[in-house]
Amino acid sequence: MKKTTLLLVFMICSFIGFSQNGISLEQAEKMIAVAKEKAISLDTKMNISIVDAGANLVAFVRMDGAWLGSADISLKKAKTARYFNMNTGIIGSLSQPGGSLYNIEHSNGGLITFPGGVPIKNEAGEVIGAIGVSGSSVENDHAVAEAGASTTN
């Protein structure tokens, strides 16, 4: 393709809101807002990470008073969910001793294989990113991640 054609395609894609990485900052910020609301309703403080289709960090928030150590965990949960396109809790059940994915958490620079990471899908059902949440019980982490992931528009 000629440079002018490529530039035109890029401009059109930018104009209609197409994200080359699957998820826009605007979408990520909406997901974080919904996830924060859910965390507040559960009376907990969370670290929330959103990654794009390439597992690159798009947005992050650490609620006031959230555990410092959970910032890294939230990002690793998001990446884990995106790398394997499934909830991190499912990967955790498969990675127990004797499981088909035993020791997988040592791959990819370290994975988190307990609940709180959820893939984000577009309206067509395609994975466009993932959300990772950490700062409370795994049940609360998962509930907050699910709330955020359900807000793709």
Regarding the domain delimited by 21-149, which CATH topology (the fold level of the hierarchy) does it fall under? Beta-Lactamase (3.30.450)
Residues 6+ apart with CB under 8 A from 135: 39, 44, 45, 46, 47, 63, 66, 67, 70, 74, 141
Q: What pTM did the predictor assign?
A: 0.84
pLDDT (0 to 100) of residue 121: 94
pLDDT (0 to 100) of residue 28: 96
Q: What mean pLDDT, rounded, does the chain reach?
A: 88
CA-based nearest residue to 147, from 108, 103, 123, 116: 116
pLDDT tens digits along 6-37:
444 444 444 334 445 589 999 999 999 999 99
Task: Tell me the C-alpha distance between 78 and 57, whole Å.
Answer: 9
Domain ranges (residues) in the chain? 21-149
